[in-house]
Structure 1
């Protein structure tokens, strides 16, 4: 048994320290060489806007406009960094907290809230965005993602050398999902079939209230070895390192190199959901420690040190957040409850006999109440 504990920060790929200092890494610095100040400002902007939207959604839930909200507070760097590494040819399978990745795939953020208002299964066109609908069943989507990756390989969309053709799958899930059987089964299939998939674990250190120390004796990245999958641990609060590691993993997968496991070591600064009270299972000292490692603050410190983040950029971000907040509030409050029959829409990409039979039965069932009222 390796003495390295599951919460150790040893072996993390870091390119930007928590104090905002740029450092080198022998294996991954080259994969961040294309990040000029303009690209880094874009990352800062996306993280900042994402956090503003996150707080607006939390406020809407507290006002009773949403049934539930799942914050990404504190995990912006892992999501925005990895999202910047994606190509249009890649396909993403998220769980339910990947709002930053959704932003990077062009999903209009207010549309995400239809799910949390209980109006529909998901609001965006997965095929158009290369971003699947959210999955609330923990870990279930890992099998779907692996199957999709295997199909990409069989369709000749991997390892051709054509950047306009080659793609890969990224499957996002949290540390809690690694305790689910579906994730283990997905890694078995991915390894054996050499599937072009990147398993991206956002280890925010808590599966709801259960700490990672109760889920694993070793860092989660070490699980990859048991499946024959190369793995890497990255500082998930470092947006530059998250980008570099994901870019490396995707290039490997797209070229036919098989699956990769990334453990992004981060921290959930907010609650698991708006139904959770994190003060019951973690200390203020821990929260203060991780507040000093805020992913947005460290990039802002670095950019200001370079003289590459002025007041105009900050004001532009604030203005966008304010406008997005206004639009989000108005949009959410304008939604009306759709017909119950919409539950049968978008179950499959093409018409399905079983679904259509169930739709017809439901229509008859609803109609029976109208008949009863007519004969009353």
Structure 2
């Protein structure tokens, strides 16, 4: 009879008492933390370019929403370090399970930006092939994707592929039952899954203090036997270092890993939200001073890894990317309304057949 290895001790599960940080808010180096080797310089420069492009994509998507080209768009401005680092920590064959706010991560993973925005455009189902890009559809219900991520991780473990799964979730999602079920399930199975909690301080309009009394959301993993850590989510160097270790830990068969990244959502929850009703401008200004892109840029320039020409080139590339996206999104999509009923069930139910017939009759009557 096989005997499962015991899990780590309580001391091995506890997060750092303060968030892990490599770079100060002004871009100056901090004291290197123990246990997390710093990422290679080339990875940091690559991350900077992806963050600049991701921010420009986010701004363009917000503009497309105002123009009526998107039905809704949840901005992630200010969270670029979390999303880019999460993608860079994964291998090409690893899986990503994103939330609705993680479009920048999908772009950083190399997915066609028009396909990324297809769901938010109001089209049917998902714009990209999840299996081809090892990325699950963006999840709108809170935390349901975490359970699916654990299932995928267990499947990869049983197949012996060596693959790892990373599940993104927001601070509000950690209050959902699915999140806790996922942690427990992952720990019992020792599934190779990393949970990245992007704590941006608000679940729509509900501040963190009214969501949880835990000293940090990272402590929620300890009770389930999940190794946990907390990190400055606006310090790309720190987030990438911690997530690289988390992925290594999961891939080695040591079990799941929970990372809480302390960050901030600069813009409103979505284009339909008025954030001024529940937070003041001074709070936003304080977090603006900790902008993850500006911090990384200063850090790299001071170390001679990034020149003024490099910064300009990254900006120009991002502008060209946004222009191509704008042109492609301005074209009217070629849609077939009846496709809405395809791929819902392998065998359509009587109700679906009836609904499809009624839609086709209405379209025919309209000419």
Same fold (TM over 0.5): yes
Residue 33 (structure 2) pairs with residue 25 (structure 1): yes
1:270-315: CA deviation from partner (whole Å, max 9, x where unpaired):
1111111111111222111111110001111111112222222122
Distance 2:88 2:364 in 1: 56
2:245 pairs, out of 231, 245, 248, with 248
Change in 2 beyond 3 A, CA 1:18/1:372: closer
Distance 1:318 1:191 in 2: 43
Distance 1:122 1:306 in 2: 42
Distance 2:206 2:366 in 1: 51
1:30-61: CA deviation from partner (whole Å, max 9, x where unpaired):
2x24x12x322211111011101111111111
Change in 2 beyond 3 A, CA 1:353/1:123: closer
Equivalent position SS for 1:353: coil
Distance 1:373 1:17 in 2: 62
Residue 223 (structure 2) pairs with residue 215 (structure 1): no
Q: How does 1:1-376 map to 2 (within 5 A)?
A: 11-23=18-30, 24-28=32-36, 30=37, 32-33=38-39, 35-36=40-41, 38-157=42-161, 166-218=162-214, 219-336=216-333, 338-345=335-342, 347=344, 353-355=346-348, 360-369=353-362
Distance 1:135 1:239 in 2: 24
Distance 1:338 1:45 in 2: 34
Distance 2:364 2:337 in 1: 18
CA contact (8 A) 1:341 1:362 kept: no
Distance 2:58 2:18 in 1: 31
Distance 2:27 2:180 in 1: 36
Distance 1:134 1:25 in 2: 33
Distance 1:357 1:93 in 2: 32
The CA deviation at 1:365 is 3.5
CA contact (8 A) 2:88 2:240 kept: yes
1:1-22: CA deviation from partner (whole Å, max 9, x where unpaired):
xxxxxxxx95101111111122
1:311-344: CA deviation from partner (whole Å, max 9, x where unpaired):
2212222222222222112211213252222224
CA contact (8 A) 2:57 2:104 kept: no
CA contact (8 A) 1:234 1:245 kept: yes
Equivalent position SS for 1:167: coil
Equivalent position SS for 1:172: strand
Specify every segment of 5 or more residues in structure 1 that has no aligned partner in the other structure, as ranges: 1-8, 158-165
CA contact (8 A) 2:58 2:104 kept: no
Distance 1:211 1:371 in 2: 49
CA contact (8 A) 1:204 1:266 kept: yes
1:70-111: CA deviation from partner (whole Å, max 9, x where unpaired):
111000001111211110121011011112321232111232
Change in 2 beyond 3 A, CA 1:56/1:369: closer
Equivalent position SS for 2:59: helix
Distance 1:98 1:180 in 2: 19
